[in-house]
Amino acid sequence: MSTSSVSSILKDLGSTGNAFEDNEPGSREALIERSRALVAALEVPSEFVQRSFWAEPALSAIIRLCVNVKLFQHLKEAGNIRLTPSALSEKTGVQLALLQRLTRHLVAMYLITYHDGAFHATTLSNGLAEENYQHSISFYYDTARPSFNGFPAFFKQTRYRSPTLGGLGGPFQSAHNTQLPFFEWLVATPPDLEHFDSFMSAYRAGKPNWYDPGFYPVAERMIAGFVSDVLLVDVGGGRGHDVALFAAQHGSHPGRIILQDREPVIAAVVATSEARPFEAQAHNFFTPLPVHGARAYSLHSILHDWGDEEGVQILQNLVPALERGYSRVLLNEIVVSEEKPGLAASAMDMMMLAHFAVRERTKAEWRDILAKAGLKMVRIYQYPGAAESLIEAELA
């Protein structure tokens, strides 16, 4: 342990703590990162192994059990009412002796508290009681964790080579003994698809959007100089979450906003009776784009699902629709830093390796894939604490 490195981290924690109290963007995430750095600087190997291979795996297993017995919901519903071990045992159906051992670990890991002879919820455990997080926990534990657990054996078998990008012989197929691609497997194994959808909503909850103030300068780069008919086309935009929020934030925007996705997705959007601030259009992004000359074409976490060959094809289908010097391609994606990779970025890269046999890309890799499609990178916009960046590109 280096005393100077610990002192440096403590100094960073102090200044970052002041920034957090001043509500500076990114300060919360920076505090967490510096806290991790402090633990890494202080832990000896035996403590690291105990935490990584005993405490944390046990924690995730107990949390998955808690989903089954609705433990977090019972604590949340109790509020300020005392829930003694006996009372919680009765509500959950977990034997008292076992419950006390399991919850003791939850207390040690700061997930719930125990004082005055009773269990109490925390802000964190109350958040985990929400349905989308309950489903997310099931997805993480039942679907994702086996893929990660299989890494050592899988990569030993491949002689420690990456699986073919976009291929079907990846860690996920090996772990779940299937030949199906990830999304087809989800559809075939309910309720996994519902759990994955909840995971995606939970993953994006509370994160800054690319069109938020301080992220991408929408007024300067999109609205100023707007002279065409269409302001924004959201390519592969699902059910329109992004464009709906964009329209709400920029209520006085000029031009039309168009949501594009596959026919079944758009049919579900159109079937609702809700008023929409955007038009919905069925489109497969592996075919040429039908809307030409728009100010901006956005793709949110689309290309990271695909290998380079497919990514180039998706971008090439945009190129004929772009107006030189006017149209912008906006990629809301992770840009992996090679020198200082963030935990959110590296963890998502591992998710993509495990389940899709693809990768998150570095700045150089993004520049390369854009160039192959006939585009050039203009600038990468970042927001403090955000894992995803906004890559702005245009015709080369």
Q: Which residues are catalytic?
A: 304
305 burial via Cβ count (<10 Å: 0-12, 13-18, 19+): middle
Distance CA 285, CA 313 (A): 9
User: Residues in the chain, how many?
Assistant: 396
Peptide bond into 181 cis (omega under 30): no
Contact status, residue 195 vs residue 143, Cβ threshold 8 Å: yes
Residue 240: both structure tokens together: 């329109």
Q: At residue 277, what are phi and psi to the nearest 5 degrees?
A: -85, 20
Contact status, residue 395 vs residue 353, Cβ threshold 8 Å: no
> Following DSSP, what letter does each residue of 302-360 receive, concatenated?
-GGGS-HHHHHHHHHTTGGGPPTTT-EEEEEEEEE-SSS--HHHHHHHHHHHHHTS---
Distance CA 336, CA 345 (A): 6
Instruction: For residue 331, list its beta bridge partners.
Output: 299, 391
Distance CA 53, CA 34 (A): 22
User: Cα–Cα distances in Å, from 392 out to 204, 223, 248?
Assistant: 21, 15, 22
> Which residues are CB-neighbours of 264 under 8 A, at least 6 positions away?
none
